[in-house]
């Protein structure tokens, strides 16, 4: 059998990674580290969300507290 070289391109991002990166999840909170303001996503969607406060981009906060979500 001939073994053909597999010329498979591997992009840095595959489709699922793009989808997860562009998915805005409900309940994700973004916080400003300077003034402490927080914004929470109350309705999800797909897109690029850029929140800014105090002239700086707000950072996503991991709101994992181990409790059961209701």
Number of helices and strands in the chain (H, E): 1, 7
Which residue number, 37 or 63, has a Cβ lying nearer to Zn ion? 37
Residue of 34, 44, 45, 59 that binds Zn ion (CB under 5 A): 34
Whose CA is closest to 37, among 57, 21, 23?
57
35 touches Zn ion (CB under 5 A): yes
Per CB under 5 A, does 53 bind Zn ion? yes
**For residues 36 and 62, is the Cβ–Cβ distance under 8 A?**
no
Enumerate binding residues for Zn ion (CB under 5 A): 32, 34-35, 37, 53-54
């Amino acid at each position: 059998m001939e073994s053909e070289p597999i010329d498979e391109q591997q992009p840095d991002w595959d489709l699922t990674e793009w989808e997860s990166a562009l998915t805005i999840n409900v309940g994700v909170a973004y916080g400003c580290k300077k003034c402490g303001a927080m914004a929470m996503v109350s309705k999800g969607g797909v897109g690029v969300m850029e929140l800014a406060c105090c002239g700086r981009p707000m950072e996503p906060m991991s709101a994992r507290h181990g409790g059961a979500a209701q």
